[in-house]
Amino acid sequence: MLSTADALATLLGAASPIAGTESIPTLEALNRVLSEDVVSPLDVPPMNTSSMDGYALSTGDLAHGNRRFPVSQRIPAGHAPEPLKANTAARIFTGATVPPGADAIVMQEQTEAAGDDVTILHSPKPGEWITVQGADIRSGSIILPAGTRLTPQALGLAASVGCAQLHVRRRVKVAVFFTGDELTMPGEPLKPGAIYNSNRFTLRGLLENLGCEVTDYGIVPDKLDATRATLREAGEAHDLILTCGGVSVGEEDHVKPAVEAEGRLSMWQIAMKPGKPLAFGAVRRTPQQTDAVTSDETFFIGLPGNPVSSFVTFLLFVRPFVLRLAGVRTVAPRALSLRADFTQNKADRRNEFLRARVNPAGGLDLFPNQSSAVLTSTVWGDGLIDNPPNHAISAGETVRFIPFSELLN
């Protein structure tokens, strides 16, 4: 069996950023991936500004012991000040431009105002409470490199330097379908032997959360011809085909022979629990000029049918693969080292991914039923414990924990 690390390395080795870019309004760029560096055309802030409500003055005017100054001007944020007159102070507000001639701000709590004069009760140092021009960003610097997935704060950063449009890669196009005559959609009568298709909702949500353009072909009948026809159609207009179930070798499992007939397929047994079976390959498509490059294959990934297995294998393998297609540079989730507040005496020969959550004491509790069919554990838990093969866990030891907040990002 392949290790999880080897399987992931093989997947990422096959993935490269898709071609095709577009320029879109910054307000509409959330979760998109930059195709070009964002370079600041200006300093931020573009002038020296006050970081306090108070009074702007020249520290040199305090050298002779003078503490009482006439207020020569009032400077709100957004207004251009006049040069500061000698031996005067300027009333100034947070974010306002420091007037030429002033080199310090005294906060209003350290002053006493009386009529048109102010008494300074503090001896400021030059530069005190002044945010200098370019303190945050220098003109010409790269503030967001290509390959950045745009978060709300990244959009704010781009807007802070005046970027109204951003150059991004097009969305990854993913076709998804599900096999199994036992599958029923919620809202339909549940016949004997049937189950509701929870995987359709989970996987579509995961794909949409990654910003993919999803085509959902629904439940495909357990027939070879129907499966092949769906693969051919999906292969013509997508970057990835994702399926769930039907990749075993049973008489009613038609995905494997269908993909082999329409392209190529590698079936992997991965040394992990849950989610041992995984299929990876590609479906042929008519050679065509697509997004400025000639492409004759669409990637294929087949996930296991058990709901927790498909969920975990998506997070560990499909997520980084899709992000790499999207042009994201860093696709590995960050893990935490946390204390296990439980004991698991039985070690498994496979790499286990255990559903757990953080308790009020900062340790980890384990969901009592780790079956691959118990979808409840994925809602109850905060993430996955990455437990190495042949390792029993003792209460109090430190384990590697990958939060869902990382895996769903």
Q: What phi and psi values does residue 213 have, to the nearest 5 degrees?
A: -90, 110
Contacts of residue 360, defined as CB under 8 A and 6 or more positions apart, other chains included, come to: none
User: Domain 336-404, what fold?
Assistant: Beta-clip (2.40.340)
CB 213 within 8 A of CB 204: no
- The per-residue pLDDT for 287 is 67
Cis geometry, peptide bond prior to residue 274 (ω within 30 degrees of 0): yes
- The per-residue pLDDT for 4 is 95
Q: What is the CATH number of domain 49-131?
A: 2.170.190.11
Going from N- to C-terminal start, the domains of the chain cover: 4-19+171-325, 22-44+143-169, 49-131, 336-404
Q: What phi and psi values does residue 242 have, to the nearest 5 degrees?
A: -120, 125
Q: CA torsion sign, 368 to 369 to 375 to 378? A: positive
Query: What stretches in the chain show pLDDT beneath 50?
Result: 251, 289, 292-294
- The per-residue pLDDT for 139 is 98
- The per-residue pLDDT for 293 is 40
What whole-number distance in Å separates Cα of residue 100 and Cα of residue 103? Answer: 8
Identify the CA nearest to 368 among candidates 350, 383, 356: 356
CB 271 within 8 A of CB 2: yes
Tokens 């013509």 sit at which residue?
236
Q: What phi and psi values does residue 399 have, to the nearest 5 degrees?
A: -125, 165
Domain 22-44+143-169 in CATH 3.90.105.10: yes
Identify the CA nearest to 309 among candidates 283, 266, 270, 340: 270
| Sequence-distant contacts of 331-334: CB under 8 A, at least 24 apart | 331/12, 333/402, 333/403, 333/406, 333/407, 333/409, 334/402, 334/406
Domain 4-19+171-325 in CATH 3.40.980.10: yes
3-state secondary structure of 351: strand
What whole-number distance in Å separates Cα of residue 72 and Cα of residue 8? Answer: 67
What is the value of pTM for the model shown? 0.87
